[in-house]
Amino acid sequence: MNFLDAIWLIPLFPLFGAVLMFLIGRRLDPQPERSPEALEPELAEAMGEDAGQEHGHHPRFAPTRRLISWICPGTVLVSLLFSIGAVVQLAGLAEKAHQVILYTWLAGLPFHMGDGAVGRFAADLGFLLDPLSGVMILVVTFVGFFIHVYSIGYMGHETGYYRFFGYLNLFVFFMLTLVLANNYALLFVGWEGVGLCSYLLIGFYFHRKSASDAGIKAFVVNRIGDAAFILGIFMIFALTGTVRFLDVNQALHGLSAETAGFGVLSLTALLLFVGATGKSAQIPLYVWLPDAMEGPTPVSALIHAATMVTAGVYMVARSNALYSLAPETMAVVATIGALTAIFAASIAFAQNDIKRVLAYSTVSQLGYMFLAAGVGAYWVAIFHLFTHAFFKALLFLGSGSVIHAMGGEQDMRKMGGLKDKIPTTFWTMAVASLAIAGIPGFAGFFSKDEILWQAWSSPYGSKALWAVGTVTALMTAFYMWRLMYMTFWGECRADEHTKAHIHESPPVMTVPLTVLAAGSVLAGWLGVPKAWAFLPGSFHAFEHWLEPVWVAAAHEAGQGAHEAALEWALMGLSVLLAVAGILIARYLYVQRPELPDRIAEASGPLYPALLNKWYVDEIYNFLFVDGLAKGGGRVLGRFDQAIVDGGVNGAGWMTRFASAVSGWWDTWIVDGTVRLIAFAVKMISYPVRFLQTGFVQQYAAVILAGMAVALGYYLIK
Amino acid sequence: MLYPITTIHYVILSAALLLIGTVGFLTRRNIVIILMSIELILNAVNINLVAFSERFQAMEGQIFAIFVIAVAVAEAAVGLGILIALFRNRETVASDEIDLLKW
Amino acid sequence: MSQYYTSTDHFVLIPALMLALFGCAVLLFDFLIFPHPKQRKWLIVFLIIGEIFTGAGLWRQQSFLSSYGLNELTAFNGTLTIDGFALFFNWLFVLLSVLVAIVSYRYLEIENEHHGEYYGLILLAQCGMFFMATGTDLITLFLGLELTALSFYVMVGFLRTQKRSNEAAMKYLLLGAFSSGLLVYGFSLFYGLSGSTKIVDVADALAAREPGDPLVVLAMAAVAVGVLFKVSAAPFHMWAPDAYEGAPTTITAFLATGSKAASFAFLMRIFLGPLESARPTWEPLLIGAAVLSLFIGNIAAVTQTNVKRLLAYSSISHAGYILLGLIAGNETGLIGVAVYVAVYAFMTLGAFLVLVALRRRDLIGEDIEDLAGLMESSPGYAVLMLIFMLSLAGIPPTAGFIGKYYILLALIQTGHYTLAVIAAVFVAVAIYYYFRIVRAMFVSERKETAPLASTFGIKVALAVSGVLTLGIGIYPDPFLRMAGFSLIR
Amino acid sequence: MVSAILFYLFALMILGGAVLMVTRRNAVHAALWLVVTLLGVAGVFLLRSAEFLFVVQIMLYIGGVVLLILFVIMLVNLDAEARQPRFHRQWLLALACAVVVGAEIVYVLLSGLEAFRLAPAVTAVQTGGSTERLADVLFSEYLLPFEIASILLLVAIVGSVVMAKKRI
């Protein structure tokens, strides 16, 4: 069977599953009437996301529900099989790129571009399979499939099962569209689609207000990035006359790099990168990702760790031809990546919620990927993306298993000593933690080490970037093992009731953990360091496999001066630091558990700063919100006095408005940018609405004023 | 300037009537009078049209004026109908008292 | 003296004749054949038959044009012109009228105002729209505009016992009459400048004048105010939120789609006809109106709680986008306008239809709160509404994206980079308020348990608009070809 | 000369009537002043040899519309209404807008004066009276608008009945 020509089917299988769920899902899984106790919001809150699993009322579900458990993971499995088939056949091709174009999606009329050439903005509904998208579809379908399987167990007792799987399938559809698209416009379809699904899934537990707030936040932040992204797409079109990846790369191939300064190429690349920072949670748009963890844990694993958030990295790697021409933007990418990595790692130091540690860890690891991309080592970025997908998905699923075992508790201070009670979870998580810490032999070591080496040796890299990366590696090892020690070692700090119920998860959850653990070990061996030249070629397969994707200019960057001795030395240093990090964590949290508190006390303002995420949200607050709320209110007051009625209606509205302001003020102590933007928009919204006083002759006066301005404009001109 | 009477005199007359109609529309409270002000505006248009029609020695302007009158009549009829319905429910014909819909 | 009412005249007039005929027939049958209120929904069948005849007339015109390779067919000494543009809009009107009519009966029964006149007025309003899109004579255009507007004044106030409906109709009428007074004042100046009411003659006369001629400016400004009022572009938009909110929801849907599309057809007939030569003069005016519409529409929508009102502001912002296409003015832009108008009509209609289904006895169903948990209670409606919201927000792969894409592309092609950036930024703002609705449907607890007032008609209409909204987004090619056919040549 | 005097007489009727209409407190008085204005406009029509329009103006406008308005005033007239303020609170603002636009229009018209200034009306070769010619053109070239106008009036009738009648 020719899988290569059938790649367009790969996204369609999950779409089929999703449509099926929306059409008949409700009949397969009739919603049971909620028991009175489950309707109590406080109780639901108290029991956390696994409410009702162990305690209290078990809703009885229809037997047809099992059908859902077969259909939805099944569609992803079919996609996985098709992906494997297609990638295997791709490997046999001489030209490592295969396009399947179904039809022209967005037809464009020809027009003359600046240089006289005739451009035609035509975007296909077309799919491109090349080594890069091959890696991505394998990651998405493989990890996606196991997370689907895991969800069968994890979501087993939830209502809205069909909705959950419908959204999840829809997400896989959009993600596959994103990575398989052969042009920027179709990529944008997937880009928006995954955002939408992420939104719906974050808000899945809608009885938690914070969840639906987090969803809005995620969507709005992503939208800021998207506005830049879409402008970037149009810029690319204006530059090259096409949006097809292969043609764009070809068109850019002839150009010389913009070394002279910040030109139009750099601007385009920067616009795309702003889009990427939104989706991939980089400074300053990272704020949404930690909040996104309000969604169900499998969602965090799939969307907010393994796949969607890496879309930005994928897109930057995809646009490598453009970035190679814009060294200034590459420097920006690398710097933002490194800063995000160390910044997020420092916040992860002091978090006590197990999922939040992982969330900040994800932000930090994404920073690593951008660091690699920024120094021109695109294959390393993708390599880290690849290994990270395994161990981070595993960590999230493992934490889900822990939370499951603890009856919904997410605070690590109330855990401990779980090592023997949930052994499978423990062992698999330990593997993942070793991997992320960078212990040799585990996947994370290979990719992270390569990133550090490239940061040091690449012509775009620098010692400073390397130093930041290395320090981050130490911090990563520390906070991950802090998590491990707090969770699995020591005394169990849970209350008796919870303690009695601690149990290992069912096989439907632990099997995916085991498979991913195997991946977390093995995935790295596809790209061993160059210094390990004694190993046969297949151990260097990853770089070789991706090679056809990069245009020549980008590839040279990876070929920096290669000194084996230096590489061994740097590798040794990073391993040493990783081990040190683990040992410090062990010393602090196992041997001297009283120490951390004393350090926290002794550290002065540092610890609270970390605990409060460097007060970023509060700084946003102080700088903008306070001023706006008070100043804006005053301006509004004057506005209302001066203009229109100034009368009864206005006053009534002002009261409501003022109370709304003070209401928001409270919630903002814990919230940042998005609320700020939303607030700013609202602040403008009210005066605009005030103009609409409901008084018909005022409308007429405005019409006339409009005419007066129009006429006046011409008379003065 | 004032004599002989040319088209422009009519146009200025029309503009003045338009202005008065507009002022009436914008300032009066009574909706009946607002509707009457609309009649003034449309009459201003008609003066224009008839003046031009005479100037071009063609009938189009007059015909246009007939249709403008037809439209004015139709608007007045529907407007007064709506006004009666409004008055039945609200007991007022003051423009600034009908502001349920706003913001 | 040339012959009048020739066979060509008749051929061109058939659709309007059918509309008027069936309009009167519905008014008559209302009390002659179907005196009993329960029977009134059969009038819809008559309406549909009328639309079929209208459609047949349009179809014959279209095949006539294509079989003789003609661009246009004029009749009544150049008073009416059938061309791709007119046909495109008339097809749209036929579709919209049918969809609005078939969803209305349950809604009107719930509101206790189910009268036959309603369907008659829909047909007569559509008759007016026909002349707005087809007329090439100032008088015909003006009468078409007034015929449409008058029918809508009545339909907006159709819930006669409700204060809000009365008020909406009164405001709409007063402001509409005022603005059309200004419009016709501008027309009278056009006549004074050219000595003719035919659009071609006016165009020639205006082109002969030097740019910036004060009289042209005055006539243009007056006409522009009238037209921009009809398309509800800021700052002439203020009637729209009030009229939309107060009107019966079915009529709001018709007003926001049919009337708006007709007004844009009217606007293009005027601005691409007589005023094309004055493009440098009106371009700043339209740019101002477009940007202000984007600003006011998007910003004011953010804090609305009534969905109808929110959609009214959103429709103001969409008017801004459509104007941007007109400003770009190249082929892409004009196709973009046609595409956007149609696409906007489908998605807005769909959104309002969901609100129609939400109107139940003792339940208004207009607040965002009323949509809470719709995904749980009626997933079909929720998913459709989601598609409409995504489309309104311009997220691919929905039809709304195709429209925005064309507008943006045209702006970039013609070098209006600043406007393109402004348009893109407001797309980002728009998502915020559309997602307040999505949020209510998908991520809030269900509050209302009463089943939706769904009828066969609503289901059909929703399916049609949903399929169009999604279908055009995924496979736009046939639709784009149709829109390309609609260029004014 | 006579026509000039007549013109100024009618202009005075029109503008004076209009100003008084807009400023009268009592709606009935306003309607009566509207009649004066409309009569003035009818006179202008006569001056510009639009006899048919003159008749239409008298019959349709003064006979029809004003009567209708008077009916409505009688129907809805509240004694309270007459005691309430004539103008709403924002009348100054509205007036300012109107005055600005008016000034602009007059300025534009005066600066574009040349466009309209032709020789005083020529007496063209007329076959039959103005009414006859008008009918000729109306029922040949402008047949279509005439038909549209009939539908328009139908809508107006249906509309006002629907709105004003208690039970339909």
Angle between helices A209-240 and C399-413 (to 10 degrees): 40
Same domain, D35 and D84: yes
CB A106 within 8 A of CB C405: yes
Instruction: Please state, for a pLDDT cut of 90, what percent of chain C lies above it.
Output: 53
How far D110 CA lies from chain A's nearest CA (Å)?
13
Percent of chain A topping pLDDT 90: 22
Query: Nearest CA to A105 among C410, C480, C392?
Result: C480
The terminus-to-terminus CA distance of chain D in angstroms comes to: 57
pLDDT band at residue C453 using 50, 70 and 90 as cut-offs: confident
Least confident interval from A17-21, A415-419, C100-104, C120-124: A415-419
pLDDT computed for residue A607 by the predictor: 64
Residues 6+ apart with CB under 8 A from C50: C18, C19, C21, C22, C23, C25, C26, C123
With b for 16 or more beta-carbon neighbours within 10 A and e for fewer, the A304-340 pattern comes to bbbbbbbbbbbbbbbbbbbbbbbbbbbbbbbbbbbbb
Q: Is the pLDDT of residue A85 over 80?
A: yes
Contact status, residue C223 vs residue C202, Cβ threshold 8 Å: no
Average pLDDT over every residue of A102-113: 71
What residues of chain A lie within 8 A of the CB of D94, using their CB? 697-698, 700-701, 704
Whether D53 is covered by a domain: the verdict is: yes
Contact B27 A697 (CB under 8 A): yes
Are D75 and D133 in the same domain?
A: no
Chain D contacts in chain C segment 91-150 (CB below 8 A): 115, 117, 120-121, 124, 127-128, 131, 137, 139-140, 143-144, 146-147, 150
* C-alpha span between A514 and A146 (Å, rounded): 10
Integer Cα distance of A390 and A395 in angstroms: 9
Q: Please tell me the number of Cα atoms within 13 Å of A694 on its side-chain side.
A: 17
Q: Which of B18, B40, B68, B97 to mutate to test the interface with C (most CBs of C within 10 A)?
A: B68
- Give the integer Cα–Cα distance in Å for C299 and C428: 11
Which of residues 145 through 204 in chain C touch A, CB cutoff 8 A? 170-171, 174-175, 178-179, 182
Distances (CA, A) of A155 to A69, A429, B68, C183, D87: 10, 21, 69, 63, 67
Distance CA C108, CA C356 (A): 10
* ipTM for the assembly: 0.93
Q: Are residues D26 and D90 in the same domain?
A: yes
Alpha-carbon gap, residue C320 to A398, rounded angstroms: 51
At residue B78, what are phi and psi to the nearest 5 degrees? -65, -40
Q: How many CB atoms lie within 10 A of CB D23?
A: 18
Mean pLDDT of A512-525: 89
Name the band, by pLDDT with cuts 50, 70 and 90, for residue A627. very low
Domain contains C238: no
Amino acid A258: pLDDT = 66
Task: State whether residue C235 sits within 8 Å of chain D by CB.
Answer: no
pLDDT at C412 > cutoff 90: no
Using an 8 Å Cβ cutoff, are B14 and D82 in contact?
no
- Cβ atoms of residues A272 and A226 within 8 Å: no
State the residue for tokens 């229009």: D105
**A-chain residues within 8 Å CB-CB of B100?**
694
Residue C479, pLDDT score: 87
CA trace torsion A403, A409, A411, A416 (10° rounding): -70
Question: Could you tell me the CATH number of the domain that includes residue D14?
Answer: 1.20.120.1200
pLDDT of residue D108: 85
The amino acid present at C241, given as its one-letter code, is P
Residue D54 lies in a domain: yes
pLDDT exceeds 50 at position A578 = yes
The per-residue pLDDT for A533 is 73
Please check whether residue C64 lies inside any domain of the structure.
no
pTM for this one?
Answer: 0.88
**Are the C-beta atoms of C19 and C124 separated by less than 8 Å?**
yes
Residues D44-67 have a mean pLDDT of: 87
Worst-scoring range by mean pLDDT, A516-530, A644-658, C288-302? A644-658
D62-75 pLDDT per residue, tens: 888 888 888 888 88
3-class SS string, B3-33: CCCCHHHHHHHHHHHHHHHHHHHHHECEHHH
Residue D165 Cα to chain centre, angstroms:
27
* DSSP code at position D59: I
Q: What is the mean pLDDT of residues A219-225?
A: 77
d(CA A10, CA A585): 44
The pLDDT, as a whole number, for residue A624 is 45
Q: Which fold has domain B8-91?
A: Helix Hairpins (1.10.287)
| pLDDT tens, position by position, C159-177 | 998 999 999 999 999 999 9
Residues in chain D: 168
Residue with tokens 């109709």: C169
Using DSSP, state whether C266 is helix, strand or coil.
helix
Q: What is the pLDDT of residues B41-50, one digit of tens each?
A: 999 999 999 9
A174 vs A661 pLDDT, higher one: A174
Whole-number average pLDDT of chain A: 79
Q: Are residues D95 and D127 in the same domain?
A: no
Q: Sorting pLDDT into bands at 50, 70 and 90, what band is C421?
A: confident
The residue segments making up the domain with residue C286 are 277-489
Cβ-proximal residues to A566 (8 Å cutoff; 6+ apart), any chain:
A456, A457
Nearest CA in chain A to B27: A697
CB distance A661 to B65 below 8 Å: no
Cis peptide bond upstream of C214, omega within 30:
no
Amino acid sitting at position A537? G
Q: What is the mean pLDDT of residues A671-692?
A: 68
Do D152 and C131 make contact, defined as CB atoms within 8 angstroms? no
Residue pLDDT, tens place only, A341-396:
988 888 887 788 888 889 999 999 999 999 999 988 888 999 999 999 999 999 99
Q: Answer yes or no: is pLDDT of A45 > 90.
A: no
Burial-class residue D19 by CB neighbours within 10 Å (0-12, 13-18, 19+): middle
Does C292 map to a domain? yes
Tell me whether residue D34 is in a domain. yes
Q: Are C54 and C19 in contact (CB under 8 A)?
A: yes
Q: Which helix (H) or strand (E) holds C98?
A: helix C84-111
Contact (CB, 8 A) for C383 and A22:
yes
Grouping H, G, I as helix, E, B as strand and the rest as coil, residue A592 is coil
The pLDDT of residue A657 is: 52
Q: What is the pLDDT of residues A400-411, one digit of tens each?
A: 998 888 887 888
- A707 at the D interface (CB within 8 A)? yes
pLDDT bracket for residue A56 (50, 70, 90): very low
- Are D129 and D90 in a shared domain? no
- Domain coordinates in residue numbering, chain B: 8-91
Nearest CA-CA partner of A240 in A321, A305, A141, A181: A321
User: How many domains are there within chain C?
Assistant: 1
Q: What is the C-alpha to C-alpha distance for residues D45 and A95, in angstroms, rounded to an integer?
A: 85
Instruction: Report residue A647's pLDDT band, with 50, 70 and 90 as the boundaries.
Output: very low
Choice among A622-631, B20-29, C44-53, D3-12 with the minimum mean pLDDT: A622-631
Instruction: Yes or no: say if A194 and A182 are a contact pair by the CB < 8 Å rule.
Output: no
Residue D39's Cβ-side half-sphere holds a number of Cα atoms within 13 Å equal to 12
3-state secondary structure of A376: coil
Structural domain includes residue D106: no
Same-domain check for residues D44 and D89: yes
Residue D125 has pLDDT above 60, yes or no: no
pLDDT at A675: 59
- Grade residue A204 by pLDDT with cuts at 50, 70 and 90: confident
Domain boundary among D47, D66, D101: D101
Cβ partners under 8 Å of residue B43, min gap 6:
B17, B21, B72, D14, D37, D38, D41
Residues D93 and D129 in one domain: no
pLDDT confidence tier of residue C413, bands split at 50, 70 and 90 = confident
Does residue A48 register a pLDDT over 90?
A: no
Which domain, by its residues, includes D130? 123-168
- What domain count does chain D have? 2
pLDDT at C397 over 80: yes
Q: Which of B4, B33, B87 sits opposite D30 (nearest CB)?
A: B33
- C156 or D88, which is more confident? C156
One-letter amino acid for residue C27 of the chain? L
**C169 neighbors B82 (Cβ within 8 angstroms):** yes
* Predicted confidence (pLDDT) at residue A116 exceeds the cutoff of 90: no
Instruction: Pull the structure tokens for residue C127.
Output: 């008759």
**pLDDT band at residue D133 under the 50/70/90 scheme:** confident
**Lowest model confidence (mean pLDDT) among A623-632, C243-252, D6-15:** A623-632
Flag whether C282 is in a domain: yes
Region D78-96: mean pLDDT is 75
Tokens of A691: 């103009």
Interface subset of A 375-394, CB within 8 angstroms of B:
none
pLDDT at A625: 43
Burial call A156-181: b when 16+ CB within 10 Å, e when fewer: eebbbbbbbbbbbbbbbbbbbbbbbb
With CB atoms and an 8 Å threshold, state whether A704 touches B27: no
Instruction: Give the pLDDT mean for A179-184.
Output: 91
* Helical H segments across A489-528, by residue range: 496-501, 507-522
H helices present in A523-563, as ranges: 541-546, 552-557
Report the range of poorest mean pLDDT among A405-414, C240-249, C322-331.
A405-414
Whether A253 has a pLDDT exceeding 80, the answer reads no
Other C-beta atoms within 10 Å of A541: how many? 14
For residue A689, the chain B residue with the least C-alpha distance is B103
Structural domain includes residue C154: no
List chains touching C (3+ CB pairs under 8 A). A, B, D
Contact between B59 and D137 using a beta-carbon 8 Å cutoff = yes
Q: Which two tokens stand for residue A515?
A: 């498979």
| A688 pLDDT tier (thresholds 50, 70, 90) | confident
Q: Say whether both D147 and D72 belong to one domain.
A: no
User: Minimal Cα–Cα distance from C299 to chain B, Å?
Assistant: 12
Strands (E) across C86-235 are located at: none
**D: neighbours with 3+ CB pairs under 8 Å?**
A, B, C
Matching residue, tokens 């296909």: A124
In-domain check, residue D72 = yes
* Strands in A363-431 per DSSP E: none
Distance of CA A456 to the CA centre of its chain: 27
Tell me the two tokens of residue D33: 């002043």
Whether A41 shows a pLDDT value over 50: the answer reads no
